[in-house]
Amino acid sequence: MKSIFNFLYHPFIVGRVEDLDPQQKGFLRSSKKHQIRKEEGDAFEKEVSEVLHQVEDATLLDNVYYETGNFIPEIGVYESVQIDHILITPECVFVIEDKYLSDDKYLVLEFKGSNKTWTLKLYSGKKRRSMSGVFQNERHRQCLVEILEYHGIKDIPIVPVTVIGGLSYDKIHSKELGDAFCVTKENLFGLICIVREYYGNSGKYIEVQKAVEFFRCTDKDIERSHLYYCRHFKSKKMPKRCEGKRRKHNGK
């Protein structure tokens, strides 16, 4: 996989270039449909977080954002990555992606291993493709690999786990479900316990915590900037409704 971070030009290292002001008029456009999906996803992420808080001797980070150091001048923002949960244990690091799918809308979810897309069958008989949570989470795993390597840590297991919610278990069709570490919320805690038993104590718990936190973006508008990036990074075109107002700041 191609490197994700560009540490040489990362804003934490060399300072931030002037980027678009996320609070300006026309920066983001929302709809009732988007808002409902966000509320459903946020509620499920909270449920998963409650499960993860039950894990003993571990540090949990929810809703983590990283900027990669790659500035995209055409759309005026840094490339960014959002990770639902990072669970740091003395044995390994779990990087966890949540995927909420409506049981009332979808009849079947089909996927194979780390293929780029999932196939969703609707009750209407139609099919639609969606970004695979497993594939997406492999990118998140790579992010943590690069962050730890930047800090000289190369021997810590990083375990990607995808948690599917909303959809009945019997609707998930995949022969590689377990191999892909793709589970329901009810099976998540048990999986974490099994994996921790498999790996021994690394002795680098504190070092890993500090490394993972170091590049974490804490800018108050990072959620808006990331959503804007996700919507426009493929086209590399700034929406005409956006005023193009830039900002200066020195925060993370």
**β-strands 158-165, 93-100 pairing:** parallel
Grouping H, G, I as helix, E, B as strand and the rest as coil, residue 61 is: strand
Measured from the Cβ of residue 60, the count of other Cβ atoms closer than 10 Å reads: 16
Residues 93, 111: Cα–Cα separation, whole Å:
25
The two three-digit tokens of residue 130, written as one number: 């969606």
Span 38-77, pLDDT tens digits: 899 999 999 999 999 999 999 999 999 999 999 999 999 9
Average of per-residue pLDDT across 166-194 = 84
Single-letter code of the amino acid located at 55: V
Distances, alpha carbon 105 to alpha carbons 100, 101, 120, 122, 250, in Å: 12, 8, 10, 6, 45
Angle in degrees, CA 247, 213, 234, rounded to 5 = 50
C-alpha–C-alpha distance, residues 55 and 94, integer Å: 12
pTM over 0.75: yes
Half-sphere exposure of 116 (CA within 13 A, CB side): 0
Judge whether residue 154 has pLDDT over 60: yes
What are the boundaries of each domain within the chain? Answer: 60-69+83-219
